[in-house]
Amino acid sequence: MLQNRSTIGVVALLFAGLLAFGLVTADSVGSFAITVLSGLLQAALLFLVASGLSIVFGLMDVLNFAQGHFFMLGAYITFAFFHAQALAPIDPNLRFPIAILIASAVGGVVGYILERGLIRPLYVRPFFMLVLTFGVAIVMGEAIKAIWGTVTYTWSTVNSFSIHQNIFVLFNQQFGWYRIFVILIGLALMVLVALLLRRTRIGIIIRAGVEDSAMVEALGINVRAVFTLVFAFGCALASFGGAVAAPFLGASPGMASAFLLGAVAVVVLGGLGSYEGTAIGSVLVGLSIAIVAKFTSRPEINQTVWPSLTPMILLILVLLLKPSGLFGKEH
Amino acid sequence: MQPSNSSPIRRALQPNWIYLALLAFLILFPHIVGWITGDSPFGIGGRARGQSVFWQSILIEVFILAILTMSYNLIFGFTGVISFGHAMFFGLGGYALGMTLQYTQLGPDAGLLVGLIAGIVIAGVIGFITALVTLRLRGVYFAIFTLALAEMVAIYIGRWPVTNAEDGFPIDVLPELFNPTRSRLFLYYVALVLTVITFLFIRRLINSPTGRVLIAIRDNEARAQAIGYNTLRFKVLSITLASTMAAGAGMMHVILARKVGPEILGVTYTIDPLLMTIIGGVGTIGGPIIGAAGLHLSERILNREFVFGSVVVNIGQQWSLILGITFIVVVMAFPKGVVGTFESWQARRRARVAARQALLLQKAESSGPSGNLHEQPDV
């Protein structure tokens, strides 16, 4: 209990420090508000990639290095379907949700096949499991390059769905309604997955499995089957993240490794296998990226490299100072 | 099984005959190609041109990759530590040498010497510090740590204005002897000698008491600790050595390419040695060389258009995809790689022959007049 309370104190301190730094270095309240919003947007996307990563690791000690590629896959599929000629007659406002559904479903199916076909036979050889997902990441990246080429796709503004084009003004700063929408989706999913883990039977099995999977197995529950489901769900969630991010991030071959490292930073910061850690970690990492981006874009510094380095720096610091993360168990 | 009356020279040669034959072939290789194609191995008209020189550069690339892969195998295959950041050492070696040659006023000869030392020292120090982290971070955690570190260095140097960010810079200050457009054959032999030295060094290390401890750490670190070894010290030794070797490979690469760019820090140079180690054979002495040679040569040979009737396929363009699929197949079906699978097949065959002989012997004994199987002395 005491340990829990001190963790909450540390988290509160981190948030306060981060926000205070952002507020002090911001030009105006308005630009600070926008920084916080873009940080939350990053957090929502990171959470979608990281939540699958975290639960899967907690359950079976598998770190899926291809998780970032599922995010990229989702972005490409959504992009391709939204801009497909055959679907053009459908109203864009309907076409976009269809594209998202297809992307998430493909991600889930690919994840299912990956777990059943490649990961399951390797439980007896954990040393190889780690390098296997690395190989799967290569294959997915190269397959995407073979299908869609290496060019960066940017979302066309003509014939787009209506919410994407709406912009609001806050303290003289522009921000897209669609981004707010994505933040809300991220928050909603955070709550939804938490409810799934706390209130449903399968959620209880997952949490028990994270604690001690051998014991759950001994109680007559097929942890492997639950794990396959969780793995596929995590992949679908990452693809969903890529899908909702496609309208503003587009689709490019570089997005996989950026989001993988961001998500790994989130998971390690929160503590591998801890769900609330992942939720809080994604907000922390997202806000840090946005605040660092804002701070280093000031004219007297003007170095655009730091926001992309932020996840790695955070990751390295956490690994050096407290490898178990904020909410993780000491191994 | 060795015949006891053979001479000591023969006994030294016998287990190594395959390596010695390969070495002899590689020494003669530029001249054989020159003899077949009629192009001089020294190039044409003082410039590096012709078939022989072309194949020399492909083999130099193989040697560079072989050194990189052997160094990776020392960490991955013999110490059991998974690192996803090996490209960092390769690239830092290349950058250290390139920057010493181009950004200082030392001149070509002193610049090369200082650059080589600088590259090895920088990679060694960073490798040493990274290795100390294994004290706390095991398994996945160390893999993540090295991946993040390498990615950070790659992104930072890829945008560093001093070295022209993503464009990199060319190397034109080089001693004449090391200039790849003038004396390719010399570089070929330098690379060959370095590969042989690395090979012999790693083999000597693995067969020494130190190497035995490394393998014990790979197999079961807790047990190695319980026996009383300071496992951290051995892991630090292995990772530091491997880092300097990777830096050496990176420096060779930069000299051959005459260019330094952030791609040498990229994840490709982590993936390549990883795939080559696993496909060649994790934790085998010869595996990395077979992996590096096999994969790089097939990439170069397949990188052209094949016409099947009306279909034109360029396998080289999809090379990484094929490589990735091959990698997955090897991990799933042949986790010991080419060399490991061959060795275990040989061992099985030997065991089968021995079993058959034992069976025959048993039959002969039991059909004999006083066939009491249980009290037969060992033959």
A303: CATH:
1.10.3470
Burial class of residue A5, CB neighbours in 10 A (0-12, 13-18, 19+): exposed
pLDDT of residue A3: 57
CB spacing of B328 vs A139 below 8 angstroms: yes
A211 lies within 8 A of chain B by CB: no
| Residue A288 three-state SS | helix
Structure tokens that stand for A94 in this block: 């309907």
The domain total for chain A is: 1
Among B151, B318, B324, beta carbon nearest to A257 = B151
| Residue B104 three-state SS | coil
**Total-model pTM:** 0.86
Q: Which residue of A has its CA nearest to B146?
A: A316
Residue A59 falls inside a structural domain = yes
* A–B interface: beta-carbon pairs under 8 A: 96
- pLDDT 10s digit of each residue in chain B, 379 long? 445 556 777 776 677 788 888 888 888 888 888 788 777 777 666 666 777 788 888 899 999 999 999 999 999 999 989 899 899 999 999 999 999 988 888 878 888 899 999 999 999 999 999 999 877 788 888 988 999 999 999 989 988 888 887 888 888 888 877 877 777 888 889 999 999 999 999 999 999 999 999 999 988 888 998 988 988 999 999 999 999 999 999 999 999 988 898 889 988 899 889 989 988 888 888 899 999 998 888 888 877 767 776 676 666 677 788 888 888 888 888 888 888 888 888 888 889 999 888 888 888 877 755 545 455 555 4
Question: Crossing angle of helices A255-270/B140-158, nearest 10°?
Answer: 130
Q: How far is CA B139 from CA A129, B7, B146, B308, B321, in A?
A: 11, 47, 11, 46, 27
pLDDT at A272 over 80: no
The beta strand positions in B297-356, using DSSP E, are: 305-308, 311-314
Residue A302 falls inside a structural domain = yes
- Tell me, what's the ipTM? 0.86
Residue A173 falls inside a structural domain = yes
Q: What are A292-308's pLDDT values in tens digits?
A: 888 887 777 777 788 88
Residue A19 falls inside a structural domain = no
The parent domain of residue A133 ranges over 30-321
CB neighbours of residue A20 within 10 Å:
10
CB spacing of A312 vs B327 below 8 angstroms: no
CB neighbours of residue B138 within 10 Å:
14
| 8-state DSSP, A302 | -
pLDDT of residue B379: 47
CB spacing of B148 vs A63 below 8 angstroms: no
CB spacing of A319 vs B144 below 8 angstroms: yes
Integer-rounded Cα radius of gyration of chain A:
20
Please name every residue paired with A174 in a beta bridge, in sequence order, or none if there are none.
A169
Neighbour-count burial for A202-223, b at 16+ CB within 10 Å, e otherwise: ebebbbbbbeebeebeeeebeb
CB spacing of B144 vs A146 below 8 angstroms: no
Which candidate, A106, A99, A110, places its Cα nearest to that of A155?
A: A99
pLDDT of residue A2: 46
| Sequence-ordered list of residues with C-beta below 8 angstroms from that of B265, at least 6 positions apart, any chain | B87, B88, B90, B91, B92, B95, B150, B153, B154, B157, B158
Structure tokens that stand for B4 in this block: 């006891």
Q: What are A100-143's pLDDT values in tens digits?
A: 999 999 999 999 999 998 888 888 787 788 888 888 998 999 89
Q: What is the CATH number of domain B15-276?
A: 1.10.3470
Give the ranges where A61-91 is alpha helix by DSSP (H): 67-82
- Helix H or strand E segment including B281: none
Residue A12 falls inside a structural domain = no
| Residue A298 three-state SS | coil
Residue A172 falls inside a structural domain = yes
Residue A145 falls inside a structural domain = yes
| DSSP 3-state percent helix, strand, coil across chain B (nearest 5) | 75, 5, 20
Q: What length is written for chain A?
A: 331
